[in-house]
Copies of this chain bind each other. A is one copy, B any other.
């Protein structure tokens, strides 16, 4: 494969000035310098998304050899097959406060009050930000404790802080107005799934819920990855059982590499990998004998403003994904990273089926040679 000449390093911002404290003062305390994480590109990756429409070269920041090469071969396969479809199905950032009352009678009354006073609570919450929109408040009673699940639209921001401020105001309004007074409360009860893997998250979106799928002709799969659709589908069944036996949340080969490398490259909060890396992969044989592959990620946390998205190199990396003027919007980022995860699932599973899993690591991790060969323009 050829390498992509128009992205010769350093395509990202460089220079010693980027190590200056002033660049980072809004991002970190007690600054002592920077660590640099190399960015490779995987692609081309053709995505027919709701927001991401085009062929992308995906920046991935990692120190793990073979990672970019593996995503790249999956991306190229998808592109050769005509591209994948991707859709943001839902978007909501959540915060889950809890209120303690004297007993169940009181918590049940308070839950009723919340349901009847949503407009008042919404007004308080939304007054904290131009961007936060309160989508829903669900109540769960556990004895004398009342848990709320507050879901917000947060626009282009990831919204983790935005929903905290908004929910704090919502709580203050409840404290001021509810005829039933709680003994105590906390703005977060551990029930929102914030940077934690929780089964509930599979059903209840946090961040963006995204799905991507692709159909790959059998001949193309065999030519490129040396496996058949039936082999991948057979492995999927084994892996599904392996996941179930060990109490894994969701069902996947592994999303964490794609998510961590993409988040890091584009200035997202990489700690969110703890919650983002759950989902469902399915590899199946389509009626016409092709491979059908899909990935569903219910907790993709991406943004184009806030956090590390404004740092020079990170912004430059995100701009690689723009079509037109500015960077891709958050929906587009979410669709691209999910498509990348789909590429990885196909590539990883094929490596396992073709008994090249260890081989890939041997080849790439042990010798620098060949490290440039993973990306090319499909003929």
Contact = CB atoms under 8 A, between A and B. Distances in A.
A259 to B, nearest CB: 7
A69 B355 CA distance: 46
Contacts of A255: 274
Contacts of A190: 238-240, 242-243, 246, 248, 252-253
A365 B211 CA distance: 32
A241 B67 contact: no
A188 B252 CA distance: 12
B72 A308 contact: no
Contact of A25 (B193, B257, B308, B368): B368
A238 B196 contact: no
Contacts of A269: 63-64
B19 A32 contact: no
Interface stretch (A118-126, A326-334, A371-379): A371-379
Interface in A23-46: 23-42
- Copies of this chain per assembly: 4
A21 interface: yes
Contact of A244 (B29, B202, B256, B292): B202
A324 interface: no
B34 A14 contact: yes
Given A10-B32, A140-B245, A197 B238 contact: no
Size bracket, chain A contacts: 35 or more
Given A34-B36, A38-B27, A271 B260 contact: yes
Contacts of A187: 352, 355, 357-358
Tell me the interface secondary structure of chain A in the complex: mixed
Contact of A313 (B10, B34, B239, B284): B34
A364 interface: yes
B202 A247 contact: yes
Interface string A311-338: 1011011000000000000000000000
Interface in A178-207: 183-184, 186-191, 193-204
B246 A200 contact: yes
Contacts of A317: 35
A114 interface: no
Contacts of A127: none
B72 A213 contact: no
A196 B12 CA distance: 31
A2 to B, nearest CB: 11
Contacts of A189: 238-239, 241-242
Contacts of A234: 100, 184
Given A38-B34, A196-B248, A197-B197, A211 B277 contact: no
6 contacts: A35-B39, A187-B352, A195-B277, A197-B278, A198-B243, A255-B274
Given A28-B68, A29-B371, 9 more contacts: A10-B19, A27-B63, A28-B63, A89-B108, A165-B362, A189-B238, A198-B246, A200-B247, A261-B271
